[in-house]
Amino acid sequence: MAVLAVVLYHFEVTAGGRWLAKGGFLGVDAFFVLSGYLITALLIAERRRDGAIDLRAFWARRARRLVPALVVVFLVFIGLTMFVYGPDLRTALRQQMTATLFYGANWYAIFSGESYVQQFSAPSPLRHMWSLAIEEQFYLVWPLVVVALLRRRRPRAVMWTALVMAVVSAVWMAAQFIPNQDPSRIYYGTDTRLQSLALGAALAAALAEGLTIGSDGARRGLGIVAVFVAAWLALAWNRTSYLADWLYTGGFLLLALSVCIIILACVDGPPPGIGNPVAAALSWRPLRFLGVISYGVYLFHWPIFLLITPDRTGLTGAVLTAARITATLALAVPSYLLIERPIRHGNVLQQVRWRPAFTPILGIALLMAIFASTTDAYCTLCPPERSDPPSVAVAPGAPKVPKVMLVGDSVAFSISFGFEGNPDTRNLVTLWNQAQYYCEFVQAARREANGKEIAHSIMCDDWKATWSRSKAQFKPDLIMLGIGPWEIFDRKVQGEWLVFGQPELDRVITDQLQQIIDVVTDDHTTLVLLTSPYLERQPVGESPPEWAPEETWRIDHLNALMRTVAAANPTRVRVIEYGAYLCPDGKTCTQSIDGVVLRPDGIHYEKPGASKVAPWIARSLHEIVDPAAAPPGTAPGGTSPGTAPVTPGTAP
């Protein structure tokens, strides 16, 4: 049931227009509880049976269970990086495969901001490995704790230790949680997610200590309670949002306790049947088989989701879901029957005897293959370290080159690549890129078209101080603001959802723009608003539906709001109609210039494409400072003369 919930969540399966498993990500917590329970039960049973725990043999068994299928996944991705994936994704996969190989994917996600990067490039096919990393870290450390505790004490000590760990982890999560901010750090952290693993371990130790349900009546009562708990879990897995505050303030612990009750009903309740319907349902053979192959299903389902898309197959709805599920099972079943089970239980590795050296040698070989397959990787959308302001050397008698400070989001950031070493912009403007990835200015949670509620990004919350420092350092003639992708969502303002396009949210957006104008132009520096072209990437993975081509009205409306604010500040604000330049017919956008693709993902620029549009923007900026000095702009591709690229601060 846990792996089914995760699959339905990632496959975004709907029923009656509603997301069937909005909270299916909580299936991962059931995995954690089960892992803590099973591993602890095995360790205590071995201690009682043999008088000691052979840690080397335990870790070897874990390696035989986990490594073979993972090696298959690595080999597949190494092949894809060599022959299919582009250089940007190869860069991400080099880092992600290395982190996954050493079971540190969750901490890589935390420190790299991976969840954000995936919103701007192809979603990572290894993103789901974070949970396996947490489990493996638990497998490495927890047995040492159990061995130490059982050396002189009974399983009761293990139980109390695990309970304390669970409570401390839950309290630590609640203490770090900040409402309306991205919870990725505490969602991915081993320290904060330990609560589920520890609670499962505590249950196993309690049962080993003999703390079981005493009477038949109590067992029957447990069977009834399990029904209500199962219904509560089903409701949570169906409706809970990833951003629900209650999850991070004790909710994960409550859910883990619920899974413990289900486990207890199955192992210490009445026999499966009328008196224990939950155990009877979980004894259904197809569900049991899905549980047996669940590791492979989990490994393969997410890459399958990214591979089998509407664009590639032409499939949609239930047919698309069926194709993805079929493909997942077509990989998971033979993986289990032909690779995982023979290696785990058979004599496939008898010749190497799974010696301690085998796993490190295999890891080194995979690491070498990872780096060999990504030798030409580079990342066009990875932000470099903040640079110092560019120096402006003006020869005697030469015309002044305006200094422009660029601020805004990742689209603006990627446009700046076109100004780097470009001879067609060098004598027009000197640009200093101070744009910021995941920069959204309306400081309120957003809601996507599919109902997902996401905390607003805090990346630009300190824009006033940051821009003021940069202004004082660079002393620009113009500040150019580029926004678009993040400003077209519904927003939760003062506890109420405001719909994009309606007057209530219009006022919030225009007030925010006016605040930016007041801060930026307080010393008479001119602010330039760069209108946004349409966002053309189809919804893939976690790409917001509002970025789909049929949502062009949202960009039109945002651009109109920018013009309205500019009209109210005619002496301080100018507008560059970049959206109209790139999408001249108001419906579609220019895809390439001189054969160079402008926006490979339909949103952002790589350096070749940015170099094609930067000269037009540079001429437009130069004309604001000195209208007589800059030649007129041209339409994309130079196919026809363009109109003056700059519109004054008046409403169209």
d(CA 488, CA 262) in angstroms, rounded, equals 43
Which DSSP state fits 549?
G
d(CA 292, CA 285) in angstroms, rounded, equals 10
The DSSP bridge partners found for residue 492 are 445, 497
From the CA atom positions of the chain, what is the Rg in Å?
29
Nearest to 405 by CA among 381, 385, 429: 429
Supply the pLDDT for residue 211.
84
Domains of the chain and CATH, by start = 24-211+284-373 (no CATH), 403-647 (3.40.50.1110)
Whether 62 contacts 165, CB under 8 Å: no
The residues near 314 (Cβ < 8 Å, ≥ 6 apart) are none
Name residue 572's amino acid. R
Kindly give the interhelix angle for 294-307 and 2-10, rounded to the nearest 10 degrees: 0
The two structure tokens encoding residue 203? 């249950």
User: What is the number of H-type helices and E-type strands within the chain?
Assistant: 27, 14
Low-confidence spans in the chain with pLDDT less than 70: 17, 80-92, 113-123, 180, 311, 346-359, 361, 370-388, 390-399, 537-543, 628-652
Helix (H, G, I), strand (E, B) or coil at 113: coil
Q: What is the dihedral of CA 226, 230, 236, 237, to 10 degrees?
A: 140
The two structure tokens encoding residue 190? 């081993």
Q: How crowded is the C-beta side of 92, counted as CA atoms within 13 Å? A: 25
Supply the pLDDT for residue 182.
72
Nearest to 205 by CA among 257, 269, 152, 162: 162
Supply the pLDDT for residue 543.
66
Which DSSP state fits 641?
B
H or E segment and range at residue 557: helix 552-568
Whether 606 contacts 600, CB under 8 Å: yes
d(CA 344, CA 60) in angstroms, rounded, equals 10
Supply the pLDDT for residue 391.
60
Supply the pLDDT for residue 556.
95
Strand 445-447 and strand 453-454: pairing?
antiparallel
pTM of the model: 0.67
**Residue reference for tokens 């990875």:** 382
Q: Rounded to 5 degrees, what are φ and ψ at 479? A: -120, 125
Q: How crowded is the C-beta side of 402, counted as CA atoms within 13 Å? A: 25
Whether 194 contacts 138, CB under 8 Å: yes
Nearest to 561 by CA among 578, 575, 545, 581: 575
d(CA 44, CA 33) in angstroms, rounded, equals 17
The DSSP bridge partners found for residue 646 are 576
pLDDT tens digits, 248-288 = 999 999 999 999 999 999 999 898 988 899 999 999 999 99
pLDDT tens digits, 405-455 = 999 998 999 899 899 889 999 889 999 999 987 888 898 989 988 787 887
The residues near 334 (Cβ < 8 Å, ≥ 6 apart) are none
Name residue 616's amino acid. W
Q: How far is CA 340 from CA 61, 100, 319, in A?
A: 12, 19, 30
Name residue 330's amino acid. A
Q: Is the dihedral of CA 335, 340, 342, 348 positive or negative?
A: positive
pLDDT tens digits, 9-40 = 988 888 776 778 889 999 999 999 999 999 99
Supply the pLDDT for residue 353.
53
The residues near 371 (Cβ < 8 Å, ≥ 6 apart) are 94
Q: Could you give the strand order of the β-sheet that contains 490-493, starting from the edge strand earlier in sequence?
A: 453-454, 445-447, 490-493, 496-498
Instruction: Give residue 371's Cα distance to chain centre.
Output: 24
**Across 531-633, where does the E strand assignment appear?**
573-576, 592-593, 596-597
SS3 annotation, 178-214: CCCCCCHHHHHCHHHHHHHHHHHHHHHHHHHCCCCCC
